[in-house]
Chains A and B, each alone.
Chain A
Amino acid sequence: MKNFTWLLAIILFGIQYCEAQGPPITADKPIMLGGGSFTAKTLTEIRHTERGDFTYVPVMLHYLPTSNSLVAIHLPYINYDIENGPSGSSLADIKIMGKYQFFRKDGTGKTFRMVAKTLQTLPTGRELDVMDLSTGKYAGYYGIVAGYESLKYGISNELGYNWVPDGSLDALTHKIGFGLPLLKPQYPNKQINLYFEYTNSWLVERDWYQLLYAQGIQYARKNVTFDLAVQVPLVNDIEAGRKLNYSLFLGSRYSF
């Protein structure tokens, strides 16, 4: 019940501020940059938990067949060191993503968009039971991403459900990210953006709940961005010995 109250509070908070910039770091965005374009990106996550340390390095390729649709493939590699357990490196779970923008409302210097999203996780990784990284299980995620972006600030909001055939990693997830540009908007692009991102995750069957906060900074120049974020738990209501200490994210993306 306590978990549900937290989740509800964050969702309501998100909706209330659903008029708030930028491509987020740990969250997702509903804005797509023109049909026929590609983005190559990576977002390395160094995750420290009570159970062990994990370094996750995905190589992602996003393609927009049209201005309102996206397909992507994520090829990840993981290095793991589990206390009193295995350690090593291997391919992690490959992911295939699809997005379709079904709503768009544009104004001068601002836009609001909504996107339906699916992320299919293939069981190509080792069964490390590390959600989002390497589970060795098929998973289907279905969600909605809504975001408002203006030249002064931006917000992205995502609500979705992750389904796993055996139910062990079924999860209701909500993410909300706020972006604040520190430089005056200019074109050609030169930006430094601050991000404040929250992730709520409730593993239904295990009844685990986490509220994570990520503080990020992003440098963007022309069609390249560099991202840095630190994520820490605000609520860590999961099994003892499994709690998250912190995660460090290092990313870059290139659009062409």
Chain B
Amino acid sequence: MKKSIIISALLTLMVVFSAVAQEGKDKFMVQVDGLGCPFCAYGLEKKFKEFKGIKNVKIDIETGDFSFSYPAEKALTLADVEKQVEKAGYTPITAKVERANGEIEESSASEMTKKSEGTVSKNVMVAGNCAMCEARITKAAESVQGVSAVSWDKDTKIMKVSFDAGLTSLEKIEKQVAVAGHDTKNHQAHTDDYGNLPACCKYERLSYK
């Protein structure tokens, strides 16, 4: 009798812990093209192992369906996932994430399968002060789908960005940087976004005619 109670209690605890663990995970589902053989799937999984904490990796090579779960606190974006698929040497077609809090985000197939028009590089002025600003600016720009490389120089205030012109534009990237709280040459950050910046990042605001 005593044994049964202990076993039941342990099982209950396991179920509870498992449920709690699942709650803290975002579930990603990506459809990937180009998986021509099981080795390709190995290449894809190996590349995603660079995301520390990835679990429950499943790949159906016949349909290209690729799914995994990832700790919600790391806030992995669909753009990061799509980039990683590209780095593995394959093509992301659709991507969807079920966040731990129940939110669902999707990337539409039509957006992702737009024909590449080639990578272009542009320079644009972005206001900021310090290394924290640099990290925020580059993160914001990189989150835009189609952006392949970003750098920002705190001395010259110039952001150099390379992106696929078929997927995005400099205007979209500037807008995203402005949403992060930084004035750009063509887009001023909202006062609230600017106000949310830490004290060391409170740069001198740009004037617009």
Binding site for B on A (CB under 8 A): 21-23, 31-37, 66-68, 101, 104, 106-111, 148-151, 154, 181, 185-191, 220, 222-223, 255
Q: A34-B87, A34-B88, A151-B36 are in contact. Are A109 and B42 (CB under 8 A)?
A: no
Residue of A nearest to B60 (CB): A187
Closest Cβ–Cβ distance, residue B102 to chain A (whole Å) = 30
Residues of B contacting A148 in the complex (Cβ-Cβ under 8 angstroms): 36
Interface of B is mostly: mixed
B87 partner, pick from A67, A104, A220, beta carbons under 8 A: A67
- Could you tell me if A109 and B64 are in contact, using CB atoms closer than 8 angstroms? yes
| B 33-61 contacts with A by CB, 8 A | 33-44, 46-47, 50, 59-61
Residues of A contacting B40 in the complex (Cβ-Cβ under 8 angstroms): 31, 33, 111, 149
- Could you tell me if B33 and A22 are in contact, using CB atoms closer than 8 angstroms? no
B86 contacts A by Cβ under 8 Å = yes
Closest Cβ–Cβ distance, residue A150 to chain B (whole Å) = 5
- Could you tell me if B61 and A187 are in contact, using CB atoms closer than 8 angstroms? yes
Interface of A is mostly: loop
Q: A37-B43, A189-B41 are in contact. Are A68 and B36 (CB under 8 A)?
A: no
Residues of A contacting B47 in the complex (Cβ-Cβ under 8 angstroms): 34-37
Complex CA–CA separation, A110 to B90 (angstroms): 11
- Could you tell me if B46 and A22 are in contact, using CB atoms closer than 8 angstroms? no
Residues of B contacting A21 in the complex (Cβ-Cβ under 8 angstroms): 36-37
Closest Cβ–Cβ distance, residue A38 to chain B (whole Å) = 10
- Could you tell me if A37 and B64 are in contact, using CB atoms closer than 8 angstroms? no
